Structure formats: C-alpha cells, structure tokens
Amino acid sequence: MEKSVENHINNEKKYRAIALDLDGTLTDSNKQLPKENKEAIWKAIDSGCAVILASGRPVLGIAAIADELELKERGGYVLAYNGGSIIDWKTGKLMYENMLPAECIHDICELADENGVVALTYNDDSIVAENDTDEYVIKEAKCNNAPVLKLDNLEEYVDYPVSKFLVVGEHEKLLPVQEALLSKHGDRLDAFFSESYFLEVVPKGVSKSASLDSLLTGLGIDRSELIACGDGMNDIPMLEYAGLAVVMENAYPEVKKYAGYITESNDNCGVARAIEKFLL
C-alpha cells in the first residue's frame, strides 16, 4: 500500500520532469518493465513531462528499456553511469559526459587484484573483465543483458575513455579497495556502493543529482519541478535534489529516510502509482 510520509504534499503542484532509477524501481525483480509502468510513462510524456532514465548502468544496459519505452519516437533522456553521461534519446545527442582520469585505471585494476575481487568496465556492447565466471560479474552481465568479454589484461585493453569502473565481490574485500582509492585519488574520483557487492568508481563529482542539474538547466526546468523515484543508496543524491522524492516500498531502510512519499514496491508497479498520483 502507498504511504505518505509527508501529509502536506501539494498534489496540485505542476511537476515537469521525472527521473526514474531502473533496478529495484522501474523494473521488477526479474529486470522486466511492467506494462503498467510503461503505459503510465507514456501518459506522462503525453502530458508534457520530461522522462529521464537515471541509472548506474552503462548505456548498453539502458538502451533496451529506452527503446521499449519508445523514447526515440516519444522523446526522453538517458542518464547513464550514475550521471557520467546524458543522452537525448530522440536525437542521439550526447548532452553531458564526464570520464575517469586515465591515470587512476592502474590502481583500480591493481587494488582489485590484490584484494581478491574483480574490476570491470564496458565497451560499446559488452562488459569487459579478466574473469567471466565470477558470480558478481555474471550478475552485472544479467542486469545489463550483455555478454562478458574475457580479457588477459584489463588495464592494457582499456585504452579508451571510460565513465565508470565497477569493482565487484564480497563487501569486506571491497572496503579496503574503496579506502585505498579514496585515500590516493580522492581528489579525482569517487568510490561508493550501489549494492554491498558493487563498488562504483566514477569521476569526482559525478552523481545523479549533478548531471540532473545540468540537464534541467538546459531544459529550463527548476529542480522543484522534478520528481525522482529510487530505491538504492546511489539514488540518495537525486532524491535530495528533487522537488519530490518518491521512494519504493522495497527500498533500503536508509533510503526511506529521504522519502517525501513512499510508493508501492517495484513488483507492484510503484512507479505507475506515483505517476498517477503526482503527474496525471
């Protein structure tokens, strides 16, 4: 059941944009897009609302959902890598991009190796890693519906700009990786957990909120006119940034502290419920 945690929310307020996390929010537990969510998003677009898919996934992991939502025809935006890039899906225009400093890549790969965890990143159509059988690498591959390209040497392979590395493994083994990266490169990168087993390594200052601010400024939309929907720790910056923070019933307890409104779970089309309540 939907629960308001703010009795004074103004249902008459005109919201002009909605940012939607994917995993645990827009998609169900099987990583599928429910028909009810899809139809509610189409109605939101028809009403003039800007729809933004805001995910930690790479572009290759968001593309299928953007296409299922027909954003190329209807219009909409893809915010990938936790804010490392923004694409106008209708025109294909890259609107914003922030890349990891190349000099950090050696330490990311070396620290992963030393601590018995796996570093991975992405090319245009695959996840690239030195291990294609690790359970967490497989989890990331399934999440993005992408193959894993197994490499002999990840550091040597990545001779192109990347927006994000993911270091995956048991939480206790990832903590010293996070500590070492922030200690040595804290002025150039951020390292945070999106899941206990996923350590996200992104350029300094990259977050869903920072890239949303850039996008909304370009669109002439004020942050008070934005609804953000999420469930994970990496959604907290955009939930704090938005005019209305909608948190899923299935969210982490820590995330619920930032809710302006708690909707139903991702398996009960909580996104559709929120769109119906605040946009339609």
Q: Please tell me the total number of residues recorded for the chain in this structure.
A: 280
- Backbone φ and ψ of 94, nearest 5°: -80, 115
Residue 170 amino acid letter = E
Query: For 198-214, what is each residue's pLDDT tens digit?
Result: 999 999 999 999 999 99
**pLDDT > 70 in the chain, percent:** 95
**Cα gap 227→101, rounded to integer Å:** 32
In the prediction, which pLDDT does 204 show? 95
Domain count of the chain?
2
Give the CATH number of the domain where residue 122 resides.
Answer: 3.30.1240.10
Local confidence band at 7 (pLDDT 50, 70, 90 cut-offs):
very low
Strand partners, 19: 52, 228
Are 121 and 255 contained in the same domain? no
Residue 198: which domain range?
Answer: 102-203
Do 219 and 194 share a structural domain?
no
pLDDT tens digits, 214-243: 999 999 999 999 999 999 988 999 999 999
- Domain membership of residue 7 (yes or no) is no
What's the whole-model pTM score? 0.89
Of 183, 203, 223, which one is at a domain's C-terminal end?
203
Q: DSSP secondary structure string, 74-135?
A: H--EEEETTTTEEEETTTTEEEEE----GGGHHHHHHHHHHTT-EEEEE-SSSEEES-SS-H
Instruction: Please report, for residues 67, 216, 239, 245, the alpha-carbon distance to residue 225 in angstroms, rounded to integers and kept in the order given.
Output: 25, 10, 13, 11
What is the reported pLDDT for 12?
A: 58
> 153, 170, 203: which is the final residue of a domain?
203
113 and 194 assigned to the same domain: yes
Confidence bin at 276 (pLDDT 50/70/90): very high
- Both 93 and 231 in one domain: the answer is yes
Looking at the structure, tell me whether residues 195 and 214 fall in a common domain.
no
